[in-house]
Amino acid sequence: MERDALLLKLKQTNQDRARSQKLEEELNHMKVSLESESRIKLCLQEENEKVKKDFLYWKGQYESKEGEVRQFNSEKEKLERERSSLKTEIERLMRELREVEERYKSRLLITQTQFSELTSARDSLEAELSKLRERPYAFAKHTQTDESGKKDLDPATLVFDGVRKMVTAKQLLDCGVINKVTYGQLLNGQKTVSEVSVDIKLNLKGTGSISGVAVGPQGKMSLTEAKRENILSEDSTILLLEAQAATGHIVDPRANEKMTVQEACKRGVVYEEDRERLLIAEAACLGYRDPNTTKLLSAGQAMRKGLIDRVTALRMLQAQESVGGIIDPVLSVFLPKDAAMDRDLIDEDLYRALNQRPECYLDPDTQLGTSYVTLKRRCKAEPTTGLLILPAPEKPMTVNGLRGEVSVTDLMSANLLEKSDMDQLKEGKLTSQDIEHRLRSYLRGSTCIAGVYNEANDKTLSIYQAMKEGLLKPSTTLELLEAQAASGFMIDPVNNLCLTVVDAYKRGLAGPEFKDKLLSAERAVTGYKDPGTDKIISLFQAIQKGLIEKGHGIHLLEAQIASGGIIDPRHSHRIEVVTAYKKGYFSKEMNQILTDEGDNSKGFFDPNNQDNLTYLQLKKRCIIDQKTGLVLLSIKKKKEPPQPITQKSTLRKRRVVIVDPDTNKDMSVKEAYDKGLIDHEMFLELSQQECEWEEITITTQDGSKRLVIFDRKTEIQYDIRELLEKSVINQSLYDQYRSQMITLTQFADIITSKTKANRSAASTLKHIASISVSLACPAEAVVLDGEQSPVGAIFDMEALEKISISEAHKRGLVDSISAQRLLEAQACTGGIVNPSDGRRLSIQEATSQGIIENDMATRLKPAQKAYIGFEDIKCKHKMSAAEAMREKWLPYEAGHRFLEFQFVTGGLYDPELGRRRTIKEALKEGWLDGRGAQKLQDTRHHAKNLTCPKTKLKISYKEAMDNCLVEENTGVKMLQAASASSRGISSPYNSSTPGSTSGSRTGSRASSRRGSLDLGSSGSSRRYSIVSSTTYSRTSFSSSSMS
């Protein structure tokens, strides 16, 4: 029994084991199935994410295309509106043509009637004449008496008061203002001058011009006062003042006085800034002087002589005609158009143009064109004075703009509204809210890159917050924030707010390191002040005037266009590019620069793949936030590998482009050499100038990071930490690079120059035993043949010593760009200046003596060729810098810079003749055109391409020369320099407590100095003595004009 039980248990055990094995197999099978399903799930999730991304991408593409379709439709509607407006204009012209025909028919009838009257008058006069001839001879000899025996008056006493001067009765007879009958009555005394003056008042004084505006406490104010109170626009005011000047006098309606332009300026009736323009208009009344014969010319004659343009002449003549007729400046009277044409005051072209009533003036209500006659019809004559007073313009409806209120008339002049919209606004069919909603993209919003979308955590960040979290570099952050500021607003993508820079700074959307740069970029919206006129100008105009660096300005302008349109800062709204052309806020040349997608125009950086892009290209890579509609830069999720990585950060290229003189096409250096356009030496020189610097961040296994810059072309690389540890560069220079004050290429150039420096040769320039310095005006620095020496050295105001420009660059007194410009000026005007004795050296000699370094010598070769000549391979002719520019051998910017340097130092240099040429000679030789010559002669507007080493402000080379000290013995010009800006701080020579200079500066001598000032007597000359414990034994300075 027990055995059977055990067998049974054994059997059950075997069955349990088999069952357990089966269950294990099933479990393993289920595990495999589960893993397979997990993999399938992951694949499906990835496909789902991919589909979502594709959906978002194609949705963005659809919206982009839909926007283009809307744009095309709007353009189509605009063309339709233009077509209908042209049709309306044709109908208007046809009506005017019919009116002119009717007017001429009526005039013909009047002329025929007058002809018959004159015929009858002639017959009666002939009858009287025959009776007089029949009288006895004794009575005939009394020619100056009438029948009653009364003597005739002397014609010289018959003088009338004309527009601006007296005119005789005989002159009025000759020009047809009075007839022979009236003239005879004047001679006989039958009529007085006063009586006739009343009859011909229209010819003598006219009906008067528009004198003022019906506003103010007295019910009237002058045009200038209306402009000051923003009742009239600036453009409308100046046109009405021109009309006053052209018709005789400037009018002060408050005092009821008429005066000349000069008197009006003295009394403040018109602004001084308008004097020149009003004097030109006044000449339409007084006469323009013929430069050849000095005869007085009318406005029409002056136009034919090229003294004024046709538009100006037409505007002056229309004002005169509406007041009384065309003014004869010789006689100073108003004449009808027909008489004016007979006297050659106007020609047939002007006659026809005046008949068409051109819209030469602006309607104060709508700012649209209108004629002067139309404006006069709206005026009311004062009962007491008879002055014509223009009704106050209706206050236009305004809407909210980018920075303030925008009138709807401004929007219409910018082609953003049509005349039909204005009519609907007046009728109440449209409201200001409707306009704001329709034109939101022009008035408020901005489609710039608003923030960052982090794919790793599905989070939207502001650009500055993304930088703090390590997603963006400081340089990329600054580029994107500046683009926001220049496009209208700083944007808070989390709360969907548009803010000014100040408000954004308060909310933490920008840090203190960026605040000043963003405020500067914001001026692209609020406007820049023209230093000459204090007028508000646009970003493009600021670039033209040199108020903002061109490359930086182009990037801001590019951001504006990509974000909705160019911003008109005067009227606080965006405008289309076509309208910007007309207003002068843009140019075709600038458009060509912005549409060029070469490396030079790619000023923005994609943090995902390190590509250099234009702003528009970067925007196309962004996504649209579905909730807010904002444009967000998507940061892709990155996988962190366990091994050390090398992460590319920034890539900056510098390439040389040569223009084929035959085809005007760009070529590389190699292509130009293969075609024989440049020789082998030039090929090697230009090839060395090309570089492709890249910033790389290396992360090691221990987590530490090292910053390396690497040139792909030469395979040269620099470890930044190692350079800092070895004091090759200082922390200040590195901070300038990190804050984007200098570019990667400039940073690499500085490092290269410091590592290649010939310290032993350069150090000899530091031990100048003694120098004698005097202040002198530029005229005292003239050397040979009226030439002036260029800036030859730098005067260290802290060390009180003369140093070379290269040494000043090493000490951090002069930035790399200014140093290169100063040395270029030397090279293109005769050679590098040896600061110790003032002698001029070739680049090779200066390099061997350690005055300049090898890499700088390479960069100075084009400037040296501007002096020794560019050799034309085809005709073996040495071309000047101007000729090389014309033949596209020399880039425009560099060439124009060399010409400025040569001009301010004595004239353009002719390498063929080996002498300077005046501007007049350069024009005769065809080196320059009139505009180029004018730009060179206007030294006040020379490019401010230098940073003053003393004040740290932008200055031109002419200003640098004017600010120089001149050494008495050698004549070397020295530009003063200080490590910190001295703007607003008096010169160290005026210090009342002489002593040692405190602080230290990289590259400066670390040893101590002690100094003393010997003011001497109270005479005009002061001497300063410096005793140094270094190799300087004694240095003495004298000044003849220091105060």
Q: Can you tell me the distance from the alpha carbon of 701 to that of 610, in angstroms, rounded to the nearest whole number?
A: 23
Q: Can you tell me the distance from the alpha carbon of 369 to that of 360, in angstroms, rounded to the nearest whole number?
A: 6
Contacts of 762 (CB under 8 A, 6+ apart): 804, 806, 807, 810, 850, 853
pTM (2 decimals)? 0.43
Q: Can you tell me the distance from the alpha carbon of 810 to that of 805, in angstroms, rounded to the nearest whole number?
A: 9
**Segment holding 877, helix H or strand E:** strand 877-879
Q: Tell me how crowded residue 905 is: count the other CB atoms within 10 A of its CB.
A: 26
Contact by Cβ (8 Å): 629, 441: no
Q: Can you tell me the distance from the alpha carbon of 167 to that of 336, in angstroms, rounded to the nearest whole number?
A: 17
253 φ, ψ (degrees, to nearest 5): -70, -25
Q: Can you tell me the distance from the alpha carbon of 345 to that of 328, in angstroms, rounded to the nearest whole number?
A: 7
pLDDT in tens, 911-935: 988 889 999 888 888 888 878 888 8
| pLDDT-flagged residues of the chain (< 70) | 134-152, 445, 532-533, 584, 594-601, 638-657, 659-662, 664, 670, 680-681, 683-685, 687-689, 699-703, 712-715, 756-786, 873-876, 980-1043
Contact by Cβ (8 Å): 443, 449: no
Q: Can you tell me the distance from the alpha carbon of 957 to that of 900, in angstroms, rounded to the nearest whole number?
A: 8
What tokens were used for 212? 């003022």
Q: Tell me how crowded residue 433 is: count the other CB atoms within 10 A of its CB.
A: 10
What tokens were used for 891? 């880039």
Q: Which residues pair with 222 in a beta bridge?
A: 212
E-strand stretches of 949-1034: 954-955, 965-967, 973-977, 1009-1014, 1022-1028
CATH superfamily of 765-977: Plakin repeat (3.90.1290.10)
CATH code for the structural domain at 645-754: 3.30.160.780
Q: Can you tell me the distance from the alpha carbon of 975 to that of 667, in angstroms, rounded to the nearest whole number?
A: 40
Q: Three-class SS string for 841-864?
A: ECHHHHHHCCCCCHHHHHHHHHHH
DSSP 396: P
Q: What is the pLDDT of residue 325?
A: 95
Residue 6 CA: distances (Å) to CA of 13, 19, 98, 805: 10, 20, 134, 110
What tokens were used for 491? 């944007």
Q: Can you tell me the distance from the alpha carbon of 599 to that of 893, in angstroms, rounded to the nearest whole number?
A: 18
Give the orientation angle of helix 854-868 with respect to helix 816-827, to 10 degrees. Answer: 40
Residue from 536, 521, 453 nearest 490 by CA:
521
Q: Can you tell me the distance from the alpha carbon of 542 to that of 548, in angstroms, rounded to the nearest whole number?
A: 6
Burial class (CB in 10 A: 0-12, 13-18, 19+), 784: exposed
Considering all CA atoms of the chain, what is the largest pairwise distance in Å, rounded to the nearest integer? Answer: 197
Q: What is the pLDDT of residue 349?
A: 92
Contact by Cβ (8 Å): 317, 242: no
Q: What is the pLDDT of residue 151?
A: 57
Q: What is the pLDDT of residue 986?
A: 33
pLDDT in tens, 1002-1039: 333 333 332 332 323 333 333 333 222 222 322 333 33
Contacts of 593 (CB under 8 A, 6+ apart): 554, 601
Domain 447-635 in this protein, CATH class: alpha beta
Q: What is the pLDDT of residue 778?
A: 36
Contact by Cβ (8 Å): 160, 166: yes
Residue from 258, 329, 327, 315 nearest 287 by CA:
329
Q: Can you tell me the distance from the alpha carbon of 987 to that of 984, in angstroms, rounded to the nearest whole number?
A: 9
Q: Which residues pair with 699 in a beta bridge?
A: 645, 705
Q: Can you tell me the distance from the alpha carbon of 702 to that of 1027, in angstroms, rounded to the nearest whole number?
A: 53
206-391: which CATH topology? beta-hairpin-alpha-hairpin repeat (3.90.1290)
Reduced DSSP (H G I as helix, E B as strand, rest coil) percent helix, strand, coil of the chain, to 5: 45, 15, 35
Q: What is the pLDDT of residue 983?
A: 44
